Amino acid sequence: VRSIMFTDELAGNPAKKRAHEAKARRLRAKREKEAKELRKRKELERREQEAAPATAVIANGESSAGDIVPSSSSVSVGAGANTADAKTATPTAAAAPPPEALTAAQKAAEQRKLRAEARARLSAATSIQSMIRSKMVAATAREDQRSIFDKRMSDLIALAGILKQSTKAEYVPPPATVSIMTTQFLFFACPTTIRKHHPSGELTLNSGSMVMEERDLSRWTKLVKNLLLPGVFSDNLDLDPLLPWMETTGGTARLQKVLNLCVSSVSAKQAQSKKKKAKGQSPTKSLTSDSTYSCYSAVDSFLRTILRLNTSKEMGSSVQYHGGSSRDIVYQKSRSILIQPSTPKTTSQKDQNNEPCSCDLITSLRSVLLYGSTRKNPPIPGDAGRLRENCVTNDEKERASLLLRLVVDLIASLETHGADQMTLNCLCSRFISEVMTVPLLTWKVSPSSYERLVHNPSKQGAKKVPPLVVYIHRFINLNADEVSDGRVESALNMSDVSLTSCPAPAVLCLLASLIQIGRTCEALHGMNPTVLHYKAAAEYFNFLATLINSAPLGTFSSRMSAVEWVSIGSSSTPIVLSDVVIEQASAILSDSYVRALFTCAINDEELDTKKVINTKTDKDRKHEKDLEEIGTSSASTVAAKEAMVDRNRSFWQSSKWAKKLTSLISGSGEKMMPSKPSSSSKGVGKLMNTSSISRQLANGKGPINRTVTNAVLSSESTSDTKLKDSNPKRPHHEYSVLFLLALCRAYGTIISRWGGNGKEDLVKRAHQSLDNAKSGKEYASANVEPCVTALLNVLCFSTSFVMSSWSIIQSNPRVVSDLYAVIDVNKRAAPIRTLRTHPAYKRLQHSNYGAGDGNAGAVVLLMFVTCMSHTLIVTDDVEIHDMEKPIPKHQLRRCILLLKKLLYRACCIDDVHEATKSRRVMDSSHFGLALISTSSKAMNDLYNRSSRRFLCVPKFWIEEGLLEQDLRRCKTHYDYTLLLSTPVCRICPFLISFKRRLKLFERIITTNRIDIQGSNEQRNLKPGIMVKVMRGRVLEDGLAHLNKLGRDMRQRIVVSYLSEAGARETGIDVGGLFKEFWSDLSSLAFDPNYVLFKNTEGSLMYPNPSSKLAHGSDHIVLFEFLGRILGKAMYEGITIQPQFAHLFLSFLRGDHTYLHLLTDLSTIDSQLYDNLMFLKNYDGDVSDLCLTFTVANDDFGISEVPLIANGANIDVTNANKRRYIYLVAKHHVSDRIKEQSDAFTRGLWDVIDRSWLRLFNEPELQVLISGASDGKIDVSDMKSNTRYVGGYTMLDINIKRFWSVVSSFSPKHQADLLRFVTSCERPPPLGFASMNPPFTIQRVGIMRDGDKLPSAATCFNTLKLPTYSSETVLRKKLSFAITAGAGFELT
């Protein structure tokens, strides 16, 4: 039965079995056919015998035991019978030929094959039986050896005890005894097995698994403790059992097995015994924790002794494993077995249970940390989020902690004993890439074990670099190229764990582990400045910056689950990243941790912050003087004056040879070298996204102006800083600015990736961003994450980072040099958008801690600009101008100069300059994009604040020459609108002079209006839309006829006035009547008495929050109509009377940023503003004021509105008072008028495209709407741009009288005169020079003074002035005509 069973087992190959079955079926079918033919022949023979009894039947053949036939013999018909058959057979039988019989050779082959198969089965059964018997015999022999080993071990222990009691000496077994018993233990604990060699199919002897059975663990402990340890502890080399082993090959193999068992007894869980229990025998008890820890202690002591580490406290010995070259050989051999510089070949988790445990300590440690001692645990326990540190058992922690201590101490020992640097670099790199990349590392080992990574004991209290930082330093040295390029994933190269089994990438796990361990290190966490090692901390945070740069985007995201896409073959699968690992990494953003770090990093005394910040140069004082000359003029007034100034028409600026002459006269010292024409200047007619000056720079025709950068990046304290950083007598652990730079790099990377500014390429050059160009991954967030907001709150309001970082930008030589390279294209050709945050290391040259190079200045600048912008959100104008917060005004002007140069290069020079074009195509980085975006937002914010209360003179913002030649080159509406898409117009339009932007806006509207309406000059004026209006019902008729037009308001509108009697007036509208109608309509529609608008305390208009109560639901329709009225006025070039509040103009631009809520609130409710400022600066307990998150509205009755959900039950405290102030201001400035403002802007944008208005800030937009805010007319400008026809000249006596009268008029009469002639009370924003048709005075000859009054042709802006006899008569007649208010009756 047993033989049959084994035979069946051998037939277990399915393919072979199917082949045999098919062959048997074919053979069976063939034999059945032969039998059938045989039966037919027998039947034929029987019939023949009945017919011819004389026929003889001859039987041939011999039956075989293997044939399957109906009878026991084979019968065949002879030749004679065949002949007789042929003669006597019936016709039917003769027609079917007989089948061919098997030949003797075929039958013999089949018989041989069957006999061979039978022999093979018998041989297999015999071999299996023999193997079973041998295993049973071997198992019996091993059990016998266990009994013998136990008896010998008990005798030795008893002998040692007797000897110790009698002589007080430790018993040291002879080396021969140790060798015999060790070999005996290896025989029964680690048997040799037969293993099939897969490639060749050979059977080879292979060492058994080094995982002992559970019952042998106590024996192993006794062996190590009582046999191996006494010998290796002994000073007598003759008693050391390891020395004889090194003399033979077998002994060396024995040592390797012993070391392998040492590692496996700690790293792998012991297998359960397979011995069957006899009846009535109780099951074997599992190992107790005491016996397990005793094993750990013995193994730890043995390994530490032979590796020359600190011995176990339990052994109580201080003997080190030294003693000459013999023990050196054992030490070297053991070290080479236990730890290897390169990672040994690893197996997948699937095969780990079948492979022997690795003897390498680092590999074993990684295996235990990842999969536990059973090799079956998941890398991240499923209940880790709930159990936290208790997700791993104490036994697993003890195993991992022991191995971790061994590895750390062994690496430290190698460094102490002078191992070569390459070996140390490789081992440290292995530790970082294999151990530190394990998820939840700090939860899987005891705190005391990884304390060795952060604590480096030193003598005499001197600070030493923590081992963790040393490992990082050596890892960087070995992988300098990969780390410098940001390819830290390739440097880690951990492919043994996939994201499907461990939902946390190696980079994220490494980041989390370093953060968790670093927070426990006094030399790194910054809680105590006296023990902080600044340069080591700088090295640590520089490396963290590299990891943060490579971490998944979900690391600091606010999404419920972070997803990482994994490529599996040709498809990608989303993997949800582990929450607990992300939580560990997020500890770097803890408020208290960030506050402590930057408090230690900022030392204003060492940085000389006050001296740098308070120093004023001659240029600063000149800027202040220029600002004083403006006086108290409003921003709109200054903007209107700026619109009249052309800064580019000067002869000395427009002529090339004049520029050269000017530069020679000025003695600048620069050589006027002729420049070769650039190849990029061939396409002159092609519209380029740059200005004329940027093209000159791009073609090498002019240097970068360094006056601004020299003023900003002053080096007054450079020498002091150099002395502080280079003084060799100073202790190395004292303050170093490198720590602050490293913090800026780490947290700047977080801000650039998760701050919402690093995703969109504002410049939008031809190159794709890195975020979207590679593998579809996102590298930066599109929105500001809450963690970044919390980080900025700490930096801005809990530290002095803004002031200190700006001081560093101006004084630190390294930062200054980096910023010069960012601004000057000749120093760094790569575009700003390609800047990276991770430090640049050089292989074998990274010797100083914290000295990671690469864009330190740009990183500090990004941090400063971001924090300053964040601070400005809650900073009002009083604090900026009177309290000099966040930095003094002269420093703000320096900041403006620096950011202006940066934006100018990013928008106008990068990717156009020859130096940048000649370089290889580089992808944009999230840091470079964030720097451009953040600088743009900060500059826009400062520019808008300067539009309220001047920070500097208007020319301070301007880059001369921008857009000058581009405007001259453009011809069509498409050409002009294409200029709006240039980077400088989209990102920083304030660099362009206001006059240039006004001219661009005017040309866009004019060309679009001509395309839609036609023009008189081109004689293609289109009929337009006819509107009949009664003079007493201007607003009602206008609403009825025009509000339904929508975007058709751009078409020409022809106005026909009706008198009160309903009769049509005689005037023909060629443009003048429409201007008159629109001026009347706008003055009525924006009348505050209509309750749609309300006046501020400064008589500026904004939507009335109570408009709905007055007009019901129709108020939205009315606001949309008013928006179309304003849009049509701007579209037709009509300046109207209303002056709008700053807060309302922000809505019209379409980018209300809520950055000036407090200042806007001061214009509409100064009392509430004062109360909020009192609350903001209140030093006491705000809760005593009994405020809640509600606000009272006075809309024909007091009503209380909650500012947040359940706001009536939430008290205002010191912690949340800033939020309360912000919400109250937002409610009054924005929320109450948002519905009306949105309706108004919808109507406005029906006529005026939204992108056209973004060229201007609020005061400039007001000038665009209504001209100069004070309403005064510049008579000299009007006079110099007046045309005379009909016989008048500039020297005519009547013209002189006319200008004398106009000059003597009050501003009101001057406006009435302008309205009488042009139908508009205000001149165009660009002055009378841009009026089309120009202001004209036509001569009208009269005989007597009473014949005619002055009249006007408003369609052509023409004043028909009679030739009066005196100035007195002229004054009287002109005053009567402009104040009569008649229509065409006076004509």
Catalytic center residues: 1355
Would you state the structure tokens that stand for residue 1023, as one six-digit string? 């009929």
Place of tokens 């006046």: 1095
User: Is the separation of the CB atoms in 1038 and 1025 below 8 Å?
Assistant: no
Place of tokens 């606010």: 558
User: Is the separation of the CB atoms in 89 and 41 below 8 Å?
Assistant: no
In 551-617, alpha helices (H): 579-585, 591-601, 604-607, 609-614
Q: Supply the DSSP symbol for 311.
A: P
What 194-202 contacts at long range (C-beta under 8 Å, 24+ apart), as own/partner pairs, is none
Cα(157)–Cα(165) distance, rounded to whole angstroms? 12
Cα(1062)–Cα(548) distance, rounded to whole angstroms? 77
C-alpha distance across the termini of the chain, in Å: 135
Distance of CA 861 to the CA centre of its chain: 18
User: What is the SS3 assignment for 576?
Assistant: strand
Cα(1104)–Cα(1081) distance, rounded to whole angstroms? 19
Helix%, strand%, coil% for the chain, nearest 5:
60, 5, 35
Cα(944)–Cα(648) distance, rounded to whole angstroms? 24
Q: How many residues does the chain have?
A: 1387
Strand partners, 1101: 1095, 1140
What 1088-1097 contacts at long range (C-beta under 8 Å, 24+ apart), as own/partner pairs, is 1092/1118, 1092/1119, 1092/1122, 1092/1236, 1093/1138, 1096/1141, 1096/1163, 1096/1164, 1097/1163, 1097/1164, 1097/1166
| Best CA proximity match to 861, nearest among 904, 794, 830, 815 | 815
Cα(752)–Cα(833) distance, rounded to whole angstroms? 12
What's the number of CA atoms in the CB half-sphere (13 Å) around residue 830? Answer: 13
- Pairing relationship of beta strands 1351-1353 and 1358-1362 according to DSSP bridges: antiparallel
User: Where does residue 907 rank: exposed (0-12), middle (13-18), buried (19+ CB within 10 A)?
Assistant: buried
In 164-291 the beta strands, taken as DSSP E runs, fall at 193-196, 203-206
Dihedral, 1073, 1075, 1076, 1078 alpha carbons, nearest 10 = 120
Strand partners, 493: none
Cα(1238)–Cα(999) distance, rounded to whole angstroms? 28
Q: Supply the DSSP symbol for 465.
A: -
| Best CA proximity match to 432, nearest among 359, 500, 482 | 482
User: Is the separation of the CB atoms in 231 and 239 below 8 Å?
Assistant: yes
- Considering all CA atoms of the chain, what is the largest pairwise distance in Å, rounded to the nearest integer? 174
Cα(696)–Cα(914) distance, rounded to whole angstroms? 11
